[in-house]
Chains A and B, each alone.
Chain A
Amino acid sequence: MRALLIRDLRLAMRAGGGFGLALSFFLLVAVLVPLGVGPEARVLALIAPGILWIGALLACLLSLDRIFALDFEDGSLDLLVTAPMPLEGVVSIKALAHWLVTGLPLTLLAPVLGVLLHLPGPGYGWLVVSLLVGTPALSVIGTFGAALTVGLRRGGLLMSLLVLPLYVPTLIFGAEVVKRGALGFDTTTPLLLLAGITLGAAALLPFASAAAVRINLR
């Protein structure tokens, strides 16, 4: 399992385009929004939590098709399916690798972009915490979407249509944590619900993803 994780990480780092691309996209969203909305600090501060979460979510979405596509093309996915390791484990590791190369850097970059968007002071801690807790769910759910569309030509657009509605609860609770944190309210409830979604998705969705991969490789 560790070998697979290291292999995936190495591929993501060296193949280019995957690792930096999501981060650049996140940065671009944070730059484009003030250009579209106007530079007024009060307005930006109001929408900053939502924009940062949506940016993270879209950046995550952008790199999802790489989770299985390369392995599917060169046939190593077939080997992984027939390997002695349970496919559920393989899928979880792939989600973890995806999170390590997108979710985690996004989390670390987010406070910087928060400055750009005039996020109110107390919001920064909650932004990092909520992304840290919530982005794993994005990776796990996204892996499921990637597994559904793995064999398809031009599956990318379809995958967005499948995955984005599944992101709704994560987005709502994640943005709510930051919003409440920025205003100085209690964030326990949305944070716990967000953690619940992440843990539930991480525990159950790999089974669905593995089933989808098996169906697609039949």
Chain B
Amino acid sequence: MSIWEYANPVKFMRLSGALLPWVAIPAAAALAVGLVWGFFLTPDDFRQGSTVKIIFVHVPAALMAVNAWFMMLVTSLIWLIRRHHVSALAARAAAPVGAVMTLIALITGAVWGQPMWGTWWAWDPRLTSFLILFLFYLGYIALWEAVPDPETAADLTSVLCLVGSVFAVLSRYAVNFWNQGLHQGASLSVAPGERMDMTYKLPLYLCMVGFALLFVALVLLRTRTEIRARRIKALLARERMA
């Protein structure tokens, strides 16, 4: 019994089908409780007022945006090394979810930035690298869509994901360098975590857990859809042959 048994689509479908409600319901519960707690039951920040509460969407979305890419990297590697189709399809399923998470982080960031910094957008290293990450997602999804043969598409996107990961990390630090080189001292980055009080931290953690579970549930669901779509295509092809 090893984890590779679930590379078998039938076994994966059975397990993921059983698992899905156990992920989706806690995700919904954690998000509902975390967001209501965060939005309505925490006090206003003494300087930021109630705008601080967007953190309960912003930070978890940003967290999952980066981790989705990391998950795609791992599944791409598994596909390239062991050639399990489920792995490639999971990477494909995760990409749009990750892209949307990136977009959520960017948009909530802009909404938060407007009252706090007086601007919707600043070329801050973090903001810029997230925008670049979004572009990487777009390119990855576009390549999946463009290549007709599924196996070729899986191979090419996996290679792109590996190369893209290296360049995404490079860009992250290059952007850091670029901004500090230009505007010294004009640091706009939000400093989360350490300085936050427990009243904010607990609902934030809950929201993070909720977003992570939501991500897992969506990826499972979308992977199941991809597998079914692949099956339908195979059935249609067989029908045409007969």
Contact = CB atoms under 8 A, between A and B. Distances in A.
Interface of A: 144, 148-149, 151-152, 155, 158, 161-162, 164-166, 168-169, 172-173, 176, 179-180, 189-190, 193, 197, 205, 208, 211-212, 215-216, 218
B163 A208 contact: yes
B34 to A, nearest CB: 33
B138 interface: yes
Nearest to A185: B181
A168 B142 CA distance: 19
B142 A144 contact: no
A208 B159 contact: yes
Interface residue range, chain B: 20 to 34
Given A158-B146, A164-B135, A215-B159, A172 B152 contact: no
Nearest to A161: B139
B132 A168 contact: yes
Interface of B: 132, 135-136, 138-139, 142-143, 146-147, 152, 155-156, 159-160, 162-164, 167, 170-171, 174-175, 177-178, 181
Contact of B171 (A158, A162, A165, A190): A165
Contacts of A168: 132, 167, 170-171, 174-175
A137 B237 CA distance: 43
A176 B174 CA distance: 10
B173 to A, nearest CB: 8
Contact of B178 (A152, A158, A176, A212): A176
B132 A165 contact: yes
Given A158-B143, A161-B142, A197 B156 contact: no
Contacts of B155: 211, 215
Contacts of A197: 170
A144 B167 CA distance: 13
B167 A166 contact: yes
Contact of A165 (B143, B146, B164): B164
A212 B147 contact: no
Contacts of A148: 143, 156, 159-160
19 contacts: A149-B143, A161-B138, A162-B143, A165-B132, A165-B167, A166-B163, A168-B171, A168-B174, A172-B171, A176-B177, A176-B181, A179-B181, A180-B181, A208-B162, A212-B156, A212-B159, A216-B152, A216-B156, A218-B152
